[in-house]
Chain A
């Protein structure tokens, strides 16, 4: 790090690569999905870059890097859970809609299949299996060799993208 602070670009690249190697297991233990780990790792590297002037090279590097990693992890988890709370269904809202047709939907899979095909391949396949062929998330997971929660997350992301596109 001392060499990096002096402007040695190669030393800095090595330091960031080593930091990635150091932090990946730390984040993997705390986050469920590998794409989340990658996203957060990138955010942490950016934070380390931004805050590098607060490290003077005279004290151990690891506690400094871990402090930033922990800070970004907590931020990420806070945002994640507040996002989940925002999207949680209010029971009162649910009750109000119960008398309506809950088994029929004005929007069929066929009517939006064009949009579904524009999604990434895996997400499109998951929606097709779940909504056109009627498989459950568990069955889809077995069929395409993913775990069930990964299928649910991919479907959730696909719904979000579709909702945004259809609302436009």
Chain B
């Protein structure tokens, strides 16, 4: 008990005025704006796919991009909440990425079914995964760096969600840049690696967000 009293005394002596962390909604808004700027700059440099406007008449491509955008927004919000020890007492929102993930999966399945006759596969393959991963690096670094300033008690999940959020920026960029209509290629080289990235995030979260 004496030790605890001593500790309380020394901690209270150290206590100076502290600036509270920003609200997670503001935090996720900052991250979203930063990601939007990054995406816009990347697309300005690499260029949009030339027939994008025409292709956006395809409802399945539009639904896919909207679902991916939804996944990005909700994972960003969830990552911001998961950075707080008590999830800012918004537990339901913190675990909300399940919903856009299911919607996304559903959209991809329907788009796959609608792809008849199947569009020809592009000649490249793993280059897409590599490009998305490279595009993901900067947002991932930025998100992890910001999250380390807080105190996550769900560090594995936080790492996974943060990496999924960053990866969806990369996936969005490639979908708007690459001339490709094959949903099979997209599933194989764009979205399946997303699962691996999610698992990698569990490990990275433990490594980088533990405090």
Within 8 Å CB of B127, what residues of A?
none
Q: Which of B3-11, B38-46, B50-58 lies on the face that meets chain A?
A: B3-11
**How far does the Cβ of A85 sit from chain B's closest Cβ, in whole Å?**
19
Question: A49 contacts which chain B residues (CB < 8 A)?
Answer: 11, 14-15
A72 CB to closest chain B CB (Å) equals: 9
What size tier do the contact residues of chain B reach?
A: 20 to 34
Contact B20 A63 (CB under 8 A): no
A-B contact count (CB 8 A): 87
Is A135 positioned at the interface, with any CB of B under 8 Å from its CB?
no
* 0/1 interface trace, chain A 50-62, chain B, CB 8 Å (1 if under): 1111111101100
Q: Are B89 and A54 neighbours in the complex by a CB distance under 8 Å?
A: no
* B20, A56: Cβ atoms closer than 8 Å: yes
In whole angstroms, what is the CA distance A66 to B89 when docked? 12
With contact pairs A47-B151, A53-B20 given, residues A63 and B86 touching in the complex (Cβ less than 8 Å): yes
Residue of B17, B21, B23 near A7 (CB, 8 A) is B17
Question: What are the residues of chain A within 8 A of B12 when measuring CB–CB?
Answer: 9-10, 12-13, 16
Asked if residues B4 and A38 are in contact (CB atoms below 8 Å), the reply is yes
Chain A residues positioned under 8 Å from B15 (CB to CB): 4, 7-9, 12, 49
**Nearest-CB residue, chain A, relative to B8:** A16
Interface centre among A46, A51, A60, A70 (most CB of B within 10 A): A51
Nearest Cβ on chain B to A28's Cβ, whole angstroms: 13
Main secondary structure of the interface of B (DSSP, over half): loop
Task: Judge whether A26 is part of the interface by a CB distance below 8 angstroms.
Answer: no
Interface contact A70-B17, CB-CB below 8 Å: no
In this assembly, does B211 line the interface, its C-beta being within 8 Å of a C-beta of chain A? yes
Q: Is there a chain B Cβ closer than 8 Å to A6's Cβ?
A: yes
Contact yes or no, B3 A59, CB < 8 A:
no
Pick 29 A–B contacts, CB within 8 A, sort by A: A7-B15, A7-B16, A7-B17, A8-B15, A9-B15, A10-B12, A12-B11, A13-B9, A16-B11, A17-B8, A42-B4, A45-B4, A45-B7, A45-B8, A47-B151, A49-B11, A49-B15, A50-B211, A52-B18, A53-B21, A54-B20, A54-B21, A54-B84, A56-B23, A60-B89, A64-B86, A64-B89, A70-B153, A71-B85
Chain A residues close to B by CB (< 8 Å): 4-10, 12-13, 16-17, 20, 38, 41-42, 45-47, 49-57, 59-60, 63-64, 66-68, 70-71
